[in-house]
Amino acid sequence: MTTIPTRSAARQARAEAAASTERRGSSVELTNVTKRFGSFTAVDDVDLSIAPGEFVTLLGPSGSGKTTILRMLAGFDVPTSGSIAIGGREVSRMAPAARNIGMVFQQYALFPHLTVRENVIYGLRMHRWGREEREARTTEMLELVGLAHLGGRRPAELSGGQQQRVALARALAIRPQLLLMDEPLGALDRALRVDMSEEIKRLHRETGTTFLYVTHDQEEALLLSDRVAIMREGKIRALGTSEELFERPPTKFVAEFFSNSNVLDAAEIDATGDQPVVTYGGRSVVLPAAADVAGIAFQPHRARVVTEREPRPDELLITGTVKEVLFMGMLHQIVLTDSTGKRLVVRTSGEDARRLSTGDAITLAVRSGDLVPLRAEA
């Protein structure tokens, strides 16, 4: 279960006070965007609309096309067909310099021969800011990322987290309408990643810039974004807020990849009639109406371990054999194989869990309301 880091109340209040309400971000519109490299289609007819100031994450395994979309937005690649608009302006034929974007990479891409300060000021010089404004803005940015004291250092002298912050400062200095981030936390260790995620979220709030973030890490996507677009093989498979996609994944792929859910295949479901009837282990349960049910999913923590007490009528029963019981502090995690041989994961804090061990028979109950109907893959 992902733990979202909590912040102290004081910090929260301060952050909210400092948050600027002036939205500087622009909208982003991808229409029928396709990118082919030879015979390989990296991005396949993608449509995406991002509102000004939103934080959207493109999430997917490698090869899903998410980085290609980012590169096309930046101008590092040109779409084979389709149009890309930033702030209402068609940009696919526009040089990167004219697009008013900022970009942050996994490998930082800081200029190694320039100091931190010189790195941050670079964009301002290119955009011909006056000397005083440049200096003031650079100082402001360095303070924003907490690196004001390191202005004279070279990138090679900084840690990974610090380098990433310089990259952020540099990208944001020119007040871009859109900030593109390509797996920026990938090279950092776990603790640092959590800290930097907070930083990024804070920067988003304080600058109001539209953020487009690319990652393959489902936790990051959950943590940071307003909306998540889950991509696979060049297409967007699902789009919604983190909560929506997590609690009610629309397809089997999303359920498994993003939502950590257990998935039961369509074979066990009778989808004829107005309301799908799920039959499993000899018991049937009616789902709330949903069309095109190809499978059902439920979250590990939504299953109860039942013993002799009669299960309620609206609960689905699953019987199986325990394979492993893991103690996770607040919860027990039970891995079991059900009667069809499928591997299921359950998390529970119940007393019954504690008494189970490998090889025991186990019965789970899941309320029909917690069963999420899954569409077939688009």
Asked whether position 97 contacts other proteins by CB under 8 A, the answer is yes
Among 19, 51, 85, 109, binds other proteins (CB under 8 A): 109
Asked whether position 81 contacts other proteins by CB under 8 A, the answer is no
CA distance 302 to 314: 14
- Close Cβ partners of 368 (under 8 Å, ≥ 6 residues apart): 278, 285, 286, 287, 288, 314, 315, 316
Asked whether position 369 contacts other proteins by CB under 8 A, the answer is no
**Least distance to other proteins, CB of residue 104, Å:** 9
**Least distance to other proteins, CB of residue 96, Å:** 4
Asked whether position 192 contacts other proteins by CB under 8 A, the answer is no
Asked whether position 117 contacts other proteins by CB under 8 A, the answer is no
Asked whether position 273 contacts other proteins by CB under 8 A, the answer is no
**Least distance to other proteins, CB of residue 180, Å:** 9
CA distance 342 to 322: 12
Among 67, 100, 207, 209, binds other proteins (CB under 8 A): 100
Task: Give the SS3 label for residue 251.
Answer: strand
**Least distance to other proteins, CB of residue 34, Å:** 17
- Close Cβ partners of 269 (under 8 Å, ≥ 6 residues apart): 276, 277, 278, 279, 293, 295, 296
CA distance 59 to 213: 8
**Least distance to other proteins, CB of residue 27, Å:** 15
The owner of tokens 């689905």 is 316
Asked whether position 373 contacts other proteins by CB under 8 A, the answer is no
Task: Give the SS3 label for residue 191.
Answer: helix
Count of residues engaged in binding other proteins, rule: CB under 8 A = 37
* 84/296 with CB nearer other proteins: 84
Asked whether position 312 contacts other proteins by CB under 8 A, the answer is no
**Least distance to other proteins, CB of residue 92, Å:** 8
- Determine what percent of the chain falls in helix, strand and coil, rounding each to the nearest 5: 30, 30, 35
Q: Judging by beta carbons within 10 Å of its beta carbon (0-12, 13-18, 19+), is residue 56 exposed, middle or buried? A: buried
Angle of CA points 62, 67, 71, to nearest 5°: 160
Q: What DSSP state is assigned to residue 77?
A: S
Asked whether position 103 contacts other proteins by CB under 8 A, the answer is yes
Interaction site with other proteins (CB under 8 A): 24, 74-78, 89, 92-103, 105, 107, 109, 111-113, 122-123, 126-127, 129-130, 133, 137, 170, 174-176
